[in-house]
C-alpha cells in the first residue's frame, strides 16, 4: 500500500515516542495538600480518602520528612480546628492550627513552599465560607476576615495565600491588606474558577466543613456555565492575583484549557478529594492500574494547560517519576 502519511511512524518504538512526546509531569508541578489538627500524636486516616491523614504537629514533623524525601517542594495546608464559632475566628488567630503548622514547617524546611488555603468554612460553626445573616451568606463583611486570615498566615510564613471562598472582591481586599502590612512578596493563588461541585464530598468529611444548612451554590459557580469563569478570572487578574486556578480538574479540563489560553498567568488545577477517592477506591478493588490511571490523568491536566496540580496523589506521583528515571 502506498501511504505517504503514516502517523504510526511517530509511535514506532519507545525511543521515537519519547523523542516526540509533548507533555510531561514534573515533580515541580506538584502541590501536596496536608490536613493539620490540634492535639498530640494524632495521625488519623480519613475514611473516604485512604492514604490521607489528619496530622497533629508532632506527627506533621514526621510526615514532612517523608514529603521532603519524595522531592515535592510545595504543600497546601488545611486546618481542622478544635473550636468553631459563628465568625470563624480560628482562621485568623495567629495561634491557629495552620499558623502553627506554617511556623513549624518553615523552621524545619525553609525551602518548602508553603501555601495556606484561606477560607472560613473549616472554622465556622455553620460550615459556610462567609459570615451569615439568617440564611444569607454576606459578601463584604466576609472580605475583612479573609484578608485578616491571609495576613495572619503570611506573617506565620506562608509564601502563598490561596483564597477558596468565592466571595466577590476578596483578591483586591487581600492584596491591599497584605501590602499595607509590608507583605508585598506574598503571592496570591486565587481559586478563580471554583465550581459548586459534589466532588468535594470527601474533603468536607475530612475538614468537617459541610454547610449546616443550604449549600454553596450562592457563591461557588454553577457547573452548567462557562462564561462566568471568564468574568471571575478577569476580576482576579485585575485585583492582583498572581496564580489562577480551575477546580475541580478532571471533569473541568475544558475550563483548564480556556483559562490557560485566555489569561497570561500561571494556572493551577486542583484534582479534588472526590477525584482522589474514585481512583483510590477502584485501585483498592483491583479494578484499575492505579499508577497508570493516575499518571494518565495528571498528564491530561498538564496537556489541557495547567502548569501545576494540587493532588492528594502528589507523593505517589513523585515516587513514580523517580522510578522511571
Question: Any idea which residues carry the catalytic annotation?
Answer: 194, 247
* 272 lies in the binding site for ligand PBG (CB under 6 A): yes
Least distance from ligand PBG to the Cβ atom of residue 266, Å: 19
For residues 275 and 252, the answer to whether their CB atoms sit within 8 Å is: no
For residues 249 and 275, the answer to whether their CB atoms sit within 8 Å is: yes
* 117 lies in the binding site for ligand PBG (CB under 6 A): yes
> Which residue from 208, 240, 72, 185 is spatially nearest to 63, judged by alpha carbons?
72
Q: Among 115, 119, 137, 309, which residue interacts with ligand PBG (rule: CB under 6 A)?
A: 119
User: Whole-angstrom Cα distance, residue 169 to residue 159?
Assistant: 21
Least distance from Zn ion to the Cβ atom of residue 200, Å: 9
Q: Among 52, 114, 121, 306, which residue interacts with Zn ion (rule: CB under 5 A)?
A: 121
Q: State which of positions 125-144 bind Zn ion (CB under 5 A).
A: 129
Q: Among 46, 118, 119, 317, which residue interacts with Zn ion (rule: CB under 5 A)?
A: 119
Cβ neighbours of residue 325 closer than 8 Å, sequence gap 6 or more: none
Secondary structure (3-state) at 247: strand
SS (H, E, C) 260-317: HHHCCCCEEEEECHHHHHHHHHHHHCCCCCHHHHHHHHHHHHHHHCCCEEEECCHHHH
User: Whole-angstrom Cα distance, residue 15 to residue 34?
Assistant: 38
Least distance from Zn ion to the Cβ atom of residue 165, Å: 5
How many residues of this chain interact with Zn ion, rule: CB under 5 A? 3
* 129 lies in the binding site for ligand PBG (CB under 6 A): yes
User: Whole-angstrom Cα distance, residue 5 to residue 317?
Assistant: 36
Q: Among 53, 55, 77, 200, which residue interacts with ligand PBG (rule: CB under 6 A)?
A: 200
* 204 lies in the binding site for ligand PBG (CB under 6 A): yes
Least distance from Zn ion to the Cβ atom of residue 129, Å: 3
Task: Answer with the entry of Zn ion, ligand PBG, none that 188 interacts with (C-beta below 5 to 8 A by kind).
Answer: none
Burial class (CB in 10 A: 0-12, 13-18, 19+), 1: exposed
- Identify which of residues 120 and 321 has a Cβ nearer to Zn ion in the complex: 120
- Identify which of residues 204 and 303 has a Cβ nearer to ligand PBG in the complex: 204
* 121 lies in the binding site for ligand PBG (CB under 6 A): yes
Q: How is residue 211 written as a grid cell?
A: 454547610
Burial class (CB in 10 A: 0-12, 13-18, 19+), 313: buried
Q: Among 273, 277, 297, 311, which residue interacts with ligand PBG (rule: CB under 6 A)?
A: 273
| Cα 49–chain centre separation | 15
Q: Spell out, one character per residue from 218 to 257, where the chain touches ligand PBG: x when CB under 6 A holds, - when not.
A: ----------------------------------------
- Identify which of residues 175 and 216 has a Cβ nearer to Zn ion in the complex: 216
Residues that bind ligand PBG (CB under 6 A): 117, 119, 121, 129, 164-165, 200, 203-204, 216, 272-273
Interface ranges with Zn ion (CB under 5 A): 119, 121, 129
Amino acid at each position: 500500500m502506498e501511504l505517504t502519511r503514516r502517523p504510526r511512524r511517530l509511535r514506532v518504538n519507545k525511543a521515537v515516542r519519547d523523542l516526540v512526546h509533548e507533555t510531561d509531569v514534573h515533580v515541580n508541578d506538584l502541590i501536596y495538600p496536608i490536613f493539620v489538627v490540634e492535639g498530640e500524636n494524632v495521625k488519623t486516616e480519613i475514611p473516604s480518602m485512604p492514604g490521607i491523614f489528619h496530622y497533629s504537629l508532632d506527627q506533621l514533623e514526621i510526615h514532612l520528612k517523608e514529603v521532603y524525601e519524595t522531592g515535592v517542594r510545595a504543600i497546601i495546608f488545611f486546618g481542622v480546628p478544635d473550636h468553631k464559632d459563628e465568625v470563624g475566628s480560628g482562621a485568623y488567630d495567629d495561634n491557629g492550627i495552620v499558623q502553627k503548622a506554617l511556623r513549624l514547617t518553615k523552621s524545619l524546611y525553609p525551602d518548602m513552599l508553603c501555601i495556606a488555603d484561606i477560607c472560613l468554612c473549616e472554622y465556622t460553626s455553620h460550615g459556610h465560607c462567609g459570615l451569615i445573616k439568617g440564611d444569607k451568606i454576606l459578601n463584604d463583611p466576609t472580605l475583612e476576615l479573609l484578608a485578616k486570615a491571609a495576613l495572619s498566615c503570611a506573617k506565620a510564613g506562608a509564601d502563598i495565600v490561596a483564597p477558596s471562598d468565592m466571595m466577590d472582591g476578596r483578591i483586591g481586599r487581600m492584596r491591599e491588606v497584605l501590602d499595607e502590612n509590608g507583605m508585598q512578596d506574598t503571592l496570591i493563588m486565587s481559586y478563580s474558577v471554583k465550581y459548586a461541585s459534589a466532588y468535594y464530598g470527601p474533603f468536607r468529611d475530612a475538614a468537617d466543613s459541610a454547610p449546616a444548612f443550604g449549600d454553596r451554590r450562592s457563591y461557588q459557580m454553577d457547573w452548567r456555565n462557562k462564561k462566568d469563569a471568564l468574568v471571575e478570572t478577569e476580576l482576579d487578574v485585575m485585583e492582583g492575583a498572581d496564580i489562577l486556578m480551575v477546580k475541580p480538574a478532571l471533569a473541568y479540563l475544558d475550563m483548564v484549557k480556556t483559562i490557560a489560553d485566555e489569561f497570561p498567568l500561571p494556572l493551577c488545577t486542583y484534582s479534588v478529594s472526590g477525584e482522589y477517592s474514585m481512583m483510590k477506591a477502584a485501585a483498592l478493588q483491583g479494578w484499575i492500574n492505579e499508577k497508570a490511571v493516575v499518571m494518565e490523568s495528571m498528564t491530561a491536566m498538564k496537556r489541557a494547560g495547567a502548569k501545576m496540580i494540587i493532588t492528594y496523589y502528589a507523593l505517589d506521583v513523585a515516587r513514580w517519576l523517580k522510578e522511571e528515571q
